[in-house]
Amino acid sequence: MNKRPQLRQARRLVVKIGSALLTNDGRGLDEAALGQWVDQMAGLIADGVELVVVSSGAVAVGMSRLGWSRRPDQLHELQAAAAVGQMGLVQSWEAQFKRHGIHTAQILLTHDDLSDRKRYLNGRSTLRALLDVGVVPIVNENDTVVTDEIRFGDNDTLAALVTNLVEADGLIILTDQLGLFDKDPRRHADATLVTECRASDRTLDAMASGGAGVLGRGGMQTKLRAARLAARSGAFTVIAGGRIEAVLARLRQGEVVGTLLLPEQGREAARKQWIAGHLQTRGTLTLDAGAVRVLCRGGRSLLPVGVKAVAGRFRRGEMVSCVDESGREVARGLVNYDADEARAIAGRSSDRIAEVLGYVSDEEMIHRDNLVIL
Ligand SMILES: Nc1ncnc2c1ncn2[C@@H]1O[C@H](COP(=O)(O)OP(=O)(O)O)[C@@H](O)[C@H]1O
Ligand SMILES: N[C@@H](CCC(=O)OP(=O)(O)O)C(=O)O
């Protein structure tokens, strides 16, 4: 069955697993279930998919390790529980992936990390480096330092931001319900499952207005918001039941499981809109004819060697305009070096960056993923 080609074709996926599922409704970490998801994830990886896992559950696992039966109201107690629980969480992910000979990495992020452009680029480079060497990043919110997020639970949003960050094709949110229903199925026995919809469809808002489960915090509202955020970088979102037999494998085969929420536009168009519309340019790089040719062919990064001149004052992560020698703008992108550094390495081959600057943060002046050809 291949009703959903998006899933079959996906090359990079983010899978988010909520607290209610991971902790089997609060009874400690559900190792058996975690092991089964990892088996399925290993199957996806063997099928050529790059995978990022966003795992909730630190607070719930910490509570169970500390013998607390009631979720604390005090923020610092929640943070203490999360710090204890995060250990157990990553230990389990690591042990389960190890059975398949797959390495994992712990990534703890806050929303602020992703709104600061410099940290955004650094996070992105690290995640990309991990995926390049076949490691599965296990992401959670950095609960020790966040404030509101840990109270309200927002790993759905975090997962969507990670989807944007790594430019994943899709986000799979596994939860304790079979998907998004037209009303809260915990309260309405006649609720029916939505199988497919545009993420932007406003009629979904009323459906997702019910609250969260006992352990989870976000409910369907944050999942819907996450789908809309993911759609901004052209990614689809699936909300599906994590306890469905072989759920990830079946989704991968294109089977209609859970709710598929589709973006308005594809990845390339979404990226162009984001780069073109959301950021001011801070400087200009003048490219030689060879670099212009290479960039215009598409799919290539801009290397320092192709840059003839650098104008303006900009920092790593800011937007610069790329012009040809006649001053015509040919591209825009997020630059990997501060203006002074860019000036120092302009015209040089990438293997000389270390010699000139004393370090290399990236081989490219602008990575192709952060570049839009005009
Ligand atoms: N329209 C809806 N469809 C499905 N679930 C809904 C809906 N409205 C509210 N919910 C509630 O959302 C809960 C899932 O969210 P949450 O508890 O935050 O889970 P997670 O821990 O997986 O993030 C469900 O258990 C359900 O009670
Ligand atoms: N960082 C928190 C996440 C809380 C959260 O968002 O939970 P959920 O709504 O179950 O995904 C934790 O690990 O407990």
Q: What is the ipTM of this complex?
A: 0.94
Q: Where does a domain end: 267, 298, 331?
A: 267
What residues are designated binding site for ATP?
16, 175-176
Q: Do 161 and 80 sit in the same domain of this protein? A: yes
Confidence category of residue 99, pLDDT binned at 50, 70, 90: very high
Question: Which one of 175, 204, 205, 259 would you pick to mutate in the ligand 1 pocket, going by the greatest count of ligand atoms within 8 A of its CB?
Answer: 175
Q: Do 318 and 213 sit in the same domain of this protein? A: no
Measured in degrees and rounded to the nearest 5, phi and psi for residue 260 equal -100, 120
Ligand located closest to 192 CA: 1
Q: Is-contact 328 373, C-beta < 8 A?
A: no
Q: Do 253 and 286 sit in the same domain of this protein? A: no
Q: Do 191 and 285 sit in the same domain of this protein? A: no
Q: Do 192 and 293 sit in the same domain of this protein? A: no
Q: Do 54 and 153 sit in the same domain of this protein? A: yes
Q: How far is CA 162 from CA 130, 171, 278, 355, in A?
A: 14, 9, 18, 34
Q: Is the CB of 18 under 6 A from ligand 1?
A: yes
Tokens read off for 358: 């004393």
Rounded Cα distance, 171 and 167, in Å: 10
Question: For the chain, where are the alpha helices, taking DSSP H only?
Answer: 5-9, 19-22, 31-46, 58-66, 75-98, 111-115, 117-132, 148-152, 155-165, 203-207, 219-232, 247-252, 267-278, 289-297, 339-345, 353-357
Q: Do 341 and 289 sit in the same domain of this protein? A: yes
Q: Where does a domain end: 216, 237, 267?
A: 267
Structure confidence by residue, pLDDT tens digits, 339-368: 999 999 999 999 999 999 998 888 999 998
Q: Is the CB of 213 under 6 A from ligand 2?
A: no
Q: Where does a domain end: 224, 240, 267?
A: 267
- Which protein residue's CA is at the shortest distance from atom 19 of ligand 1? 216
Structural domain boundaries, residue 323: 279-373
Specify the ligand 2 atom closest to the Cα of 86.
13
- Overall domain count for the chain: 2
Rounded Cα distance, 215 and 180, in Å: 18
Instruction: Give the pLDDT of residue 271.
Output: 72
Q: Is the CB of 159 under 6 A from ligand 1?
A: no
> Would you mind telling me the total number of residues written for the chain in this entry?
374
| 154 C-alpha to ligand 2 centroid (Å) | 6
Q: Do 259 and 310 sit in the same domain of this protein? A: no
| 137 C-alpha to ligand 1 centroid (Å) | 25
pLDDT at residue 71 tops 70: yes
Q: Is the CB of 177 under 6 A from ligand 1?
A: yes
- DSSP label at residue 294: H
Structure confidence by residue, pLDDT tens digits, 195-241: 999 999 999 998 887 655 554 455 788 999 999 999 988 999 999 99
Query: Does a structural domain hold residue 274?
Result: no
Ligand located closest to 56 CA: 2
pLDDT at residue 306 tops 90: yes
Q: Is-contact 135 182, C-beta < 8 A?
A: no
Domain at 351, CATH number: 2.30.130.10
| 216 C-alpha to ligand 1 centroid (Å) | 8
Q: Do 237 and 331 sit in the same domain of this protein? A: no
